[in-house]
Structure 1
Amino acid sequence: MEDILRQLSVILRGMWLYRWWGLAAAWIVGPIAAATVYLLPDRYESSARVYVDTQSILKPLMSGLAVQPNVDQQINILSRTLISRPNVEKLIRMADLDLTVKTKEEREVLIAGVTKALEIRVAGRDNLYTLAYTDTDAERAKRVVQSLVSMFVESGLGDKRKDSDTARKFIEEQIKSYEQKLEEAENRLKEFKLRNLATVGSGGRDYFAKMTDASEQLGQARLALREAENARDTLKRQLVGEEPVLLPDNPSSAVLSTVSVPELDGRIETQKKSLDGLLQRFTEQHPDVVGARKMIAQLEAQKVQEIQARKKVAPASGGTSLGSNPVFQQLKMSLAEAEASVASLKARVTEYESRVQTLNAASRMLPQIEAEFAQLNRDYDVNKRNYDQLVSRRESASMAVEMGATSGVADFRLIDPPTVPSKPAAPNRLLLMPAAGLAALLMGAVISFLTSQVRPTFSDMNVLREVTGLAVLGSVSLLSDQDRMRSIRRGKIAFLGCLGALIGLFGAMTVWLMLARMA
């Protein structure tokens, strides 16, 4: 700390030696700085306050029905982006600031100056904005602020309408695109169903249920074919290799057993076979066995009635001609009917077998067909869901536009309109004048310091010893007489007087500026 104080003392002694150089520099810089401050052009600031009311009674009522953007955020962004080059150029044209502009360079300078002079300040969170502009002409400053207020209001409404139109146009394009996609998907689905109608079906029945039905129908057809073949074979045995028997007047049961009625004999034979199967599993008292015996007895009684009816139809003469025997004729007719029934059932069995084979062959491709059908349905469902959402959002956007046209996006209220300022807002000469005086004094101190460094002197033996590195044996002191002391005193008084005059000059000019502002 002692070394620092000693070095500071050496510097101040050196500056004191060249104090007149510094004072001269201060007197040169001071008046120039004072004249510059005084001659600075006055700049007038015109401002306007705008309140943006973003609240609307329709907002809570239309919640969930119409799109409601964050208006507060939009207005905040608008206030930050309003001062852009396109807007500044538009503002220059609106305020007629480019009437004296001749060249492109001058226009660029004008744009840069206007951009720098414009200012938008936000007053807290109440959506209160202050629009200000500073210019050397008070009337021009008011005109610029007035134009800026108009741009602020129009930009808010215009941008919102532009955003709404852009959004609706985009949604309309997307809806048209999805309509085309839906049509293509529907056509693909229709072609797929037509191509795989036998597999998928038009009623949506399960494929495996169709296979089960076809197999059951085939089994029933085969069973009916076997019954018809048995009945036909019985008729053939009676007609081929066997003499037809004429019915007596009172036929016994033995005689009845030799007479065939194809329709009933086949059924009786089938029931007897079924009875044999039941007796192998159950006793005589089992309900199924009892029911089967009753059915056989009923069929045999029906057969007797049929034979009696055929007997009544026979000729009363009882002739022995075979061709005139009604029973023989009836047997031939029954055989023809049985042959036709067998042929019909064979055709049915063949058809059912073809169906089953076709279904079995198609069952190998069933997983692929189902996967393709599921993919088509999934694509269609996705497109349909997106299409419905877009239509809903289009209606919501349209409702939002109508709501904005009815209630307005925001209510711009001009709280303080722009006025012509009566007093300049800048420069603040009351602060600049003392600052100029302080700058002149600092300049003088800097000149004294630099001169002392350029032309250094040794103020004591310690400095000489440190600089030279040699031992100092002694020093010779100067004894001042009365004349020299008076000369030094007069020099100090003159220096302080000149310094005080400089300070007083700046002080007087500051007081004069204060009085001029108060007047």
Structure 2
Amino acid sequence: MNSLYDEFRIAVHSVWNRRWLALAVAWGLCLLGWLVVALIPNSYESKARISVEMQSILSDKVGVDARERKKNMERVQETLASTINLEKVVRGTALNESVSSDRELAGKVEMLRKSVQIKSEKDNLFEIIATSSASNLSDAENAVLSRDIVQKMIDIFVEENLSGDRDETSQTIKFLDAQLAQREKELQEAEQKRVQFETENLGLLPGIGSISQRLEAARAEQSQIDSQLSQASASLAALNGQLAGTPSSIATPGVAGGGGARAQLSQAQSTLAAARARGWTDSHPDVTAMKNEIAALRVQAAKEPAGGGGYRTPNPAYSSLQSMRAERQATVAALQARKNALQADMAQLASKQTLEPGIAAEMSRINRDHEVLKDQYNKLLTDREQIKLRGQVESETDSVKFRVIDPPSSPRSPAAPNRPLLLAMVLFAGIGGGVGTAFAIGHLQTSYPTASKLEKASGLPVIGSVSQVLTSVQRAARGRKLRLFYGTSGALFGVFGMLMIVEFIQRGMVA
């Protein structure tokens, strides 16, 4: 512990003996450092925050969804610091006063690119930061310029989102109108070509569609007609069988004889014919009962004598069956005629397809081209109406709302450099440099501040040491030098204090 204390005393003594050297080095380093700090230009920073709200129920219904809104905001953020927009900022602020050529304009744009920052704090919150440190402007002018730059960036931000979208929508609609006009003209030409081709080949292209399509449709219709004709023929054959077993007239008994078995048989047959006319089949329970009753009545009628004193009348069942047979014969004849006509058409189409295969292919190509042009025209028309509706929604409703949360700030103190801190650091660095220089020179000289140091270095015992003896004149001279040293050291701190006062005065003038 005593060794460390002795070393500290030796170091302090070494520095104190060379205090004038330390003071000179401190003055030199401080003056040089303060000069460098004074030459650093002040940078003034202005900030602003804006909120962009894109919320509209109607806009969601017409295709402006959240993903597209976010994409639009990212696009605006990326293009806001583009060269064109930065040129607008230069032209709209005091920076334009020092621009006389395109080269100088490009230099100002590059300077702005480094000094302007656009940060996205959230999806709809943006912060714009601008820094101004022009050497040809005063501090007050730099402070105003930084605020003007931020304000101009806000104006461009609003313009990019409002008028930019409207201009883009207008240009898109104009482009779609031009494409629609062109497609309409091509569609009219295709229709005229199709009509002309059909007129020239009227005998070879009857109907609608290609020959293969019409043949396929005819075959399908013939298959249906064959099925209907088969059902009608079977029904007609069954009706003919029933008509063959039904007598055309029935015997009606006289007044004295009353009703016999033959009269009941005729009545039962008439009832059975009426039931079948209603669509009842042989499996129907009532039809089965009627057939059993008719069989029993036929046995009884065979036992009755012929004539029986009655007279014969037309059988109503026979007449009804004849009417039904005539109707079904007409149906069968109509189906057969339609089948014959279809077969004739199919034969004609097959012959045309064999004789003129190129015409059918050309007609198919013309129809295909016409359908493609028609689909394109309808799609373009739908897109134009949707874009027009979206443009009206974005321009006539509050789908985009801009709100300045924090207006551009007016800086009252420079953002950089922190001059008071730098001045203090230069002061401490100068003092440290002076002390360090004196300490280093003291160690370079081969002197021994204490007897123990000399004894250790020489290896010989030291008998004693003689202290310094000063006269009164030397003490007075030393006192004057000491006062001069203190005064010079205080002057160093005085210069530091004066520089600090000047700095705060300049800041007050900016405010």
Partner SS, residue 421 of structure 1: coil
Task: Report if aligned partners of 1:25, 1:447 keep a CA contact under 8 Å in 2.
Answer: yes
- What amino acid does structure 1 have at the position aligned with 2:351? N
Task: Report if aligned partners of 2:27, 2:492 keep a CA contact under 8 Å in 1.
Answer: no
Of residues 200-209 and 407-416 in structure 1, the stretch that sits farther from structure 2 once superposed is 200-209
Match in the other structure for 1:387: 377
> Separation in 1 of the partners of 2:217 and 2:43?
96
Distance 1:112 1:364, change over 3 A: same
| Correspondence for 1:88 among 86, 89, 94 | 86
Aligned residues: 346
Q: CA deviation at 1:201?
A: 0.9
Match in the other structure for 1:112: 110
Give aligned-pair identity as a percent. 26
Q: Please provide the CA RMSD for this pair.
A: 5.6
Match in the other structure for 1:374: 364
> Separation in 2 of the partners of 1:441 and 1:504?
10
Q: CA deviation at 1:420?
A: 2.8
Match in the other structure for 1:46: 46
> Separation in 2 of the partners of 1:128 and 1:441?
46
Task: Report if aligned partners of 2:49, 2:125 keep a CA contact under 8 Å in 1.
Answer: no
Q: CA deviation at 1:360?
A: 3.5
Task: Report if aligned partners of 2:59, 2:390 keep a CA contact under 8 Å in 1.
Answer: no
> Separation in 2 of the partners of 1:185 and 1:445?
99
Q: 2:415 aligned with 1:425, yes or no?
A: yes
Distance 1:439 1:59, change over 3 A: farther
Q: 2:354 aligned with 1:363, yes or no?
A: yes
Distance 1:210 1:36, change over 3 A: closer
Match in the other structure for 2:199: 194
Write the deviation string for residues 12-56 of structure 1: whole angstroms up to 9, x where unpaired: xxxx9xxx9999887644431222214534332222221111112
- What amino acid does structure 1 have at the position aligned with 2:354? S
Q: CA deviation at 1:411?
A: 0.9
Task: Report if aligned partners of 2:94, 2:145 keep a CA contact under 8 Å in 1.
Answer: no
Task: Report if aligned partners of 1:48, 1:132 keep a CA contact under 8 Å in 2.
Answer: no
TM-score, with structure 1 as normaliser: 0.50
> Separation in 1 of the partners of 2:110 and 2:423?
28
> Separation in 2 of the partners of 1:445 and 1:184?
99
Partner SS, residue 189 of structure 1: helix
Q: 2:58 aligned with 1:58, yes or no?
A: yes
Match in the other structure for 1:124: 122
Distance 1:194 1:411, change over 3 A: same
> Separation in 1 of the partners of 2:54 and 2:374?
37
Q: CA deviation at 1:157?
A: 1.1
Distance 1:211 1:360, change over 3 A: farther
> Separation in 2 of the partners of 1:103 and 1:149?
26
- What amino acid does structure 2 have at the position aligned with 1:49? R
Task: Report if aligned partners of 1:433, 1:506 keep a CA contact under 8 Å in 2.
Answer: no
Task: Report if aligned partners of 1:71, 1:410 keep a CA contact under 8 Å in 2.
Answer: no
- What amino acid does structure 1 have at the position aligned with 2:168? D
Q: CA deviation at 1:84?
A: 2.5
Partner SS, residue 420 of structure 1: coil
| Correspondence for 1:414 among 404, 410, 418 | 404
Task: Report if aligned partners of 2:26, 2:431 keep a CA contact under 8 Å in 1.
Answer: yes
Q: CA deviation at 1:481?
A: 8.0
| Correspondence for 1:73 among 64, 71, 74 | 71
Distance 1:207 1:410, change over 3 A: closer
- What amino acid does structure 2 have at the position aligned with 1:42? N
Q: 2:184 aligned with 1:179, yes or no?
A: yes
Write the deviation string for residues 477-507 of structure 1: whole angstroms up to 9, x where unpaired: 89998799xxxxxxxxxxxx9xx99998999
Distance 1:33 1:358, change over 3 A: closer
Q: CA deviation at 1:80?
A: 2.8
Write the deviation string for residues 277-334 of structure 1: whole angstroms up to 9, x where unpaired: xxxxxxxxxx9xxx9xxxxxxxxxxxxxxxxxxxxxxxxxxxxxxxxxxxxxxxxxxx
> Separation in 2 of the partners of 1:174 and 1:447?
84
Task: Give the greater-gyration-radius structure (CA).
Answer: 1
Partner SS, residue 95 of structure 2: coil
Partner SS, residue 427 of structure 1: coil
| Correspondence for 2:144 among 134, 139, 155 | 139
> Separation in 2 of the partners of 1:51 and 1:400?
22
Q: CA deviation at 1:191?
A: 3.2
> Separation in 1 of the partners of 2:126 and 2:188?
53
Task: Report if aligned partners of 2:45, 2:411 keep a CA contact under 8 Å in 1.
Answer: yes
Match in the other structure for 1:311: none
Q: CA deviation at 1:396?
A: 0.6
Task: Report if aligned partners of 1:67, 1:400 keep a CA contact under 8 Å in 2.
Answer: no
